[in-house]
Amino acid sequence: MTVRKVRAATIGLVIAALAALLILLAWAWLQPGPMGFASGKRVDLTAYRGQSPTGVPIELTSADLVARGRYLTQAADCEACHTAKDGKPFAGGRPFALPFGTLYTPNITPDKETGIGNWTDAEFLRAVHQGVAPGGVRLYPAFPYASYTMLTDDDVRAIKAYLASVPAVHQKNQANTLQLPYNQRWLMFFWSMLFNSNDRFKPVDSQSPEWNRGAYLVEAAAHCGECHTPRNQIQSLNNRLKFSGGVAEGWNAYNITGDKGTGVGNWSSEELASYLSSGHAAGRGTAGGPMAEAVNLSFRHMTRSDIAAMVTYLRSIPAIQSENIPDRLADSASPMHSRGPAGNPIGKRIFEGVCASCHAWTGKGAIRAEAQLTGSRAVNDPSAMNVAQMVLGGSGAGSNGAAGMPAFGAIFTDSEAAAVANYVTARFGSVPSHIDAADVAKLRQQSNATVTSRDH
């Protein structure tokens, strides 16, 4: 090739790359925001006529800054991600296994050397709203700043004040193991440009103060969409399918739109409130995995009025039907519940020997209402993902502090875990699952459980 041809080809490539970037930008611009579904004019906070949807609930408005910050830190669930298994709160080190390596959360305790004790308010605001750490270091969106960007400056400052009051932990951050090109932090500049609005919360004028409070809590603080909204190819939330189901650390975060069959449209508001504040709704299942953690560290600490506001907002989200789960739960009087499926002798042996004492032959729960298997979405999910995760990891202390479900990950082989999961869905769900040892091995990797398989 001549020099001229090479130059022409290079120019062609640059133009093609620029065009691709422009198309991507235009496409990103056309994506609805998290509150895009709601009709009505969005106004600045100062222009909203109702009571302000931001800040802390009335019970706490006269509390000191640290107490207010504590409530907001819990509502935003900073502790869940910034605490390692058996580690000190907020000292970081929790692994996030991504397809291209592992990312560890940093220490956000006030230790001056290894934590964020030296950060100014402005630096902290920039990190939480824009995903940029001091020195211009770009942060990965596994830190959900595209949601937190909606938090008001006052609320972020209150969170900082609370974090400054927790015990400082001297613990160095663990380096991530991301591969090229994912280890190039500056690339997050483009991600942010496309997917982080960097806009503070704007209430919808025509909606009630309760709805707007719910919107602020759900979208800006509790970031429900980060788990419950599916993602597109470039890992941004697809709000056209808002809340219709996503994946979180190897768990299915189910459809929580108002769809009656595959969502929570048939749940009463009381049931939703109960599930959020205690991790359990009678006859509808018990929160496990990442949801149990969110309930324990976050939602459980919210006031009744804040939980009610979140439920009001949740109910207004358009119903979307999921395709990957059956739109009916198993018939509550199914004879299969007492008889059990044939053709899975290993699953049967384990269920009868290990599980039935707590869950009862009928799956109605023998020890506590929380142990009811029938009626739960997880048990009616033919991927059996959450059932298998529950078998591997258990529920720790249980969703509300009572004796929970033990972890069997270190006891069962991958094929045993698969067999008992398949047995449970066939016996108590509407469509039997067919997972195998390889599926269970994958689930072990995706979850934060540190127990490794006995099959290997």
**Is 239:256 a contact under the CB 8 Å cutoff?**
no
Nearest to 297 by CA among 53, 58, 71: 71
Interacting span for ligand HEC (CB under 6 A) from 25-33, 195-203, 377-385, 436-444: 377-385
253, β-bridge pairs: 246
38, 424, 426, 440: which one binds ligand HEC (CB under 6 A): 424
Nearest to 391 by CA among 420, 349, 370, 415: 420
CA atoms within 13 A on the CB side of 42: 15
Instruction: For the CB of residue 1, give the shortest distance to ligand HEC in the complex, in Å.
Output: 41
96, 189, 191, 195: which one binds ligand HEC (CB under 6 A): 96
Span 137-156, contacts to ligand HEC by CB under 6 A: 139-140, 142-144, 148
Beta-strand (E) ranges in 203-305? 246-248, 251-253, 280-281, 285-286
**Is 150:199 a contact under the CB 8 Å cutoff?**
yes
399, 415, 430, 433: which one binds ligand HEC (CB under 6 A): 399
Name the H helices within 172-323.
188-195, 209-215, 225-228, 269-278, 289-297, 304-315
Q: Which helix (H) or strand (E) holds 438?
A: helix 437-446
43 versus 178: smaller Cβ distance to ligand HEC: 178
337, 359, 364, 427: which one binds ligand HEC (CB under 6 A): 359
Beta-strand (E) ranges in 192-272? 246-248, 251-253
Q: Applying CB under 6 A, does 117 fall inside the site for ligand HEC?
A: no
Instruction: For the CB of residue 345, give the shortest distance to ligand HEC in the complex, in Å.
Output: 15
Q: What phi and psi values does residue 132 have, to the nearest 5 degrees?
A: -125, 120
Span 121-140, contacts to ligand HEC by CB under 6 A: 127-128, 133, 139-140
115 versus 203: smaller Cβ distance to ligand HEC: 115
Other Cβ atoms less than 10 A from the Cβ of 403: the count is: 13
- Collapsed DSSP state (helix, strand, coil) of residue 9: helix
42, 377, 427, 444: which one binds ligand HEC (CB under 6 A): 377
Span 33-92, contacts to ligand HEC by CB under 6 A: 76-78, 80-82
Instruction: For the CB of residue 178, give the shortest distance to ligand HEC in the complex, in Å.
Output: 9
Q: Applying CB under 6 A, does 386 fall inside the site for ligand HEC?
A: yes
53 versus 106: smaller Cβ distance to ligand HEC: 106
Interacting span for ligand HEC (CB under 6 A) from 26-34, 50-58, 192-200, 219-227: 219-227
Measure the CA–CA gap between 289 and 267, rounded to whole angstroms: 21
Measure the CA–CA gap between 280 and 312, rounded to whole angstroms: 19
14 versus 282: smaller Cβ distance to ligand HEC: 282
Interacting span for ligand HEC (CB under 6 A) from 24-32, 218-226, 232-240, 338-346: 218-226
Q: Applying CB under 6 A, does 277 fall inside the site for ligand HEC?
A: no
Instruction: For the CB of residue 256, give the shortest distance to ligand HEC in the complex, in Å.
Output: 5
Interacting span for ligand HEC (CB under 6 A) from 29-37, 330-338, 400-408, 429-437: 400-408
Instruction: For the CB of residue 304, give the shortest distance to ligand HEC in the complex, in Å.
Output: 15
286, β-bridge pairs: 280
84, 91, 227, 320: which one binds ligand HEC (CB under 6 A): 227
Q: Applying CB under 6 A, does 275 fall inside the site for ligand HEC?
A: yes
Measure the CA–CA gap between 225 and 245, rounded to whole angstroms: 9
Instruction: Tabulate helix, strand, coil % of the chain (nearest 5).
Output: 45, 5, 50
**Is 89:79 a contact under the CB 8 Å cutoff?**
yes
- CA dist 287 → 242, 274, 322, 373 (Å): 20, 11, 20, 12
68, 223, 242, 364: which one binds ligand HEC (CB under 6 A): 223
43 versus 114: smaller Cβ distance to ligand HEC: 114
Instruction: For the CB of residue 56, give the shortest distance to ligand HEC in the complex, in Å.
Output: 14
43 versus 247: smaller Cβ distance to ligand HEC: 247
Span 149-208, contacts to ligand HEC by CB under 6 A: 159
Nearest to 79 by CA among 195, 178, 139, 167: 167
Angle 220-188-243 from CA coordinates, rounded to 5°? 35
Span 286-345, contacts to ligand HEC by CB under 6 A: 286-291, 294, 310, 314
Please work out the total of residues on this chain that contact ligand HEC, with binding judged by CB under 6 A.
Answer: 76
Measure the CA–CA gap between 225 and 37, rounded to whole angstroms: 14
